[in-house]
């Protein structure tokens, strides 16, 4: 259980780093657009945390597909409003998964503080790893996030 919470946090950190990069490169380097993506993620998190139904594995699948689709659209339709919207939607979908996952794990473990501690530490590792991978090879970041996503789905 602990391992899954940390790895989910790592995946979310990788996704947020990769999605932020894709939005900035594919839709124009605008701090407003970056903050709009973060806001979409946070709003999605609030929605996910209050959902009364929705299986985290299904939401994980949807968030991963949304991120892959948005990254693809952003890389092939640079500076398009549709591509920018795709990035915002992917951010919201990832946030919905994150919020629901944390809420469900907090209920299962009866310890929200522990869940947040584990997930946030994983998220920090994911952000740091994502930044290193961006400097080395952005494709490596996408590959790492996709492989981890597949592993989380397979568990």
Tens-digit pLDDT profile for residues 1-56:
799 999 999 999 999 999 999 998 888 878 888 889 999 999 999 999 999 887 88
Nearest to 68 by CA among 8, 146, 139: 146
Rounded to two decimals, the pTM is 0.93
* Longest pairwise C-alpha distance within the chain: 45
Q: Please report, to the nearest 10 degrees, the dihedral formed by the alpha carbons of residues 36, 101, 99, 67 taken in order.
A: 20
Q: Indicate the angle between helix axes 2-27 and 112-136, nearest 10 degrees.
A: 40
Location of structure tokens 């409003």? 81
Q: Which residue has the tokens 């469900």?
A: 104
**67-115 pLDDT per residue, tens:** 999 999 988 988 888 889 999 999 999 999 999 999 999 999 999 999 9
């Amino acid at each position: 259980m602990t391992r899954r919470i940390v790895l989910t946090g790592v995946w979310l950190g990788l996704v947020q780093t990769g999605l932020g990069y894709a939005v900035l490169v594919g839709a124009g380097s605008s701090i407003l657009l970056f903050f709009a993506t973060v806001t979409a993620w946070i709003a999605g998190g609030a929605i996910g945390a209050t959902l009364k139904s929705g299986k985290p594995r299904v939401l994980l699948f949807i968030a991963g597909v949304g991120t892959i689709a948005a990254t693809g659209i952003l890389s092939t339709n640079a500076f398009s409003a549709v591509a920018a919207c795709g990035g915002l939607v992917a951010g919201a979908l990832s946030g919905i998964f994150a919020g629901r996952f944390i809420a469900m794990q907090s209920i299962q473990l009866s310890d929200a503080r522990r869940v947040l501690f584990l997930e946030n530490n994983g998220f920090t590792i994911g952000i740091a790893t994502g930044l290193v991978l961006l400097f080395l090879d952005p494709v490596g970041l996408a590959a790492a996030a996709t492989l981890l996503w597949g592993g989380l789905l397979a568990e």
